[in-house]
Amino acid sequence: MTLKDLSLTALTEAAEGVIRPVGAFLLEQKVAQDQVETKSLNSLVSHVDKEAEARLVKGLSAVLPEAGFLAEEGTGSGDGHVRFRWVVDPLDGTTNLIHGLPVFCVSVALVDGDDPVIGVVYDPTRDECFTAFKGGGTRLNGQPVQCSGRVQLSDALVATGVPHWDFTRMEDYLAALTAFAKGTRGLRRMGSAAIDLAYVACGRFDIFFEYSLQPWDIAAGLLLVQESGGITCDFGGESEPQALLSGRETFAAAPGILDEGLSVIRNAFG
């Protein structure tokens, strides 16, 4: 099967049809502290994550039976044997949900090798569904959106994810944080990389940066930014798909402030 064999429009619509009910399921859930497991340092999981993933895998398997899976809570199939995989985060923002903060989403991408070709990020608390497919632009609840047209870093609103388990580059991160705090309109930390990237795609944020993410955190969001006219790359400005999808370094920006933003990152991280 090749990309030309797929109807990306129909697949995106079908994926959204699977994802929206899972988002509604998340919205109904309340998680008690004794129902939370710790996978690793500050990496939490609950029965909600696991049930949401099971529902997504079942639904997406019907949408495209030939595709494999790479999912946060362990569902994986076809690695090394299939061209297409669904990259699934059933609940991006688990810690927010557990603490009662209404900032979380479902994030799903279909990747061709390491290249996202469909991306869907659904925020059920606001009933906002961001969708994109390769060459088709980015939409919010069916309406086209674009990244911001800002051209000065001093006018930018910057999103980031504060390191919570990998502190090896903390001093560099704090240097970047300080520079952006002094040189922009402000910084925001939502607690969901998928939502951060979606907000870059629709112009609410102008820059997002974070390191040590996972593919399921960013796969859908990367495509949303790319199809909205934004730029995605690592901290050195490189955009090779395999490295970008790894999540080791993630930088996304409106094109008009890319150079200024990357200059800050390079000065901080070397």
The full set of domains in the chain, from first to last, is 3-145 (3.30.540.10), 153-269 (3.40.190.80)
Confidence of residue 42 (pLDDT cuts 50, 70, 90): very low
Q: What is the dihedral of CA 142, 147, 148, 154, to 10 degrees?
A: 140
204 Cβ neighbours under 8 A, 6+ residues apart: 157
pLDDT at 44 over 50: no
User: Which among 217, 209, 200, 204 is positioned nearest to 254, based on CA atoms?
Assistant: 200
The pLDDT value given to residue 107: 98
Question: How do residues 86-114 score in pLDDT, each as one tens digit?
Answer: 999 999 998 898 888 999 999 999 999 99
pLDDT of residue 80: 57
Name the pLDDT band for 76 (thresholds 50, 70, 90): confident
Least Cα distance to 197 among 234, 223, 162, 235 occurs for 223
Q: What is the pLDDT of residues 161-198, one digit of tens each?
A: 999 899 999 999 999 999 999 999 999 999 999 999 99
Q: Where are the beta strands (DSSP E) in 41-114?
A: 43-46, 68-71, 76-77, 84-92, 105-112
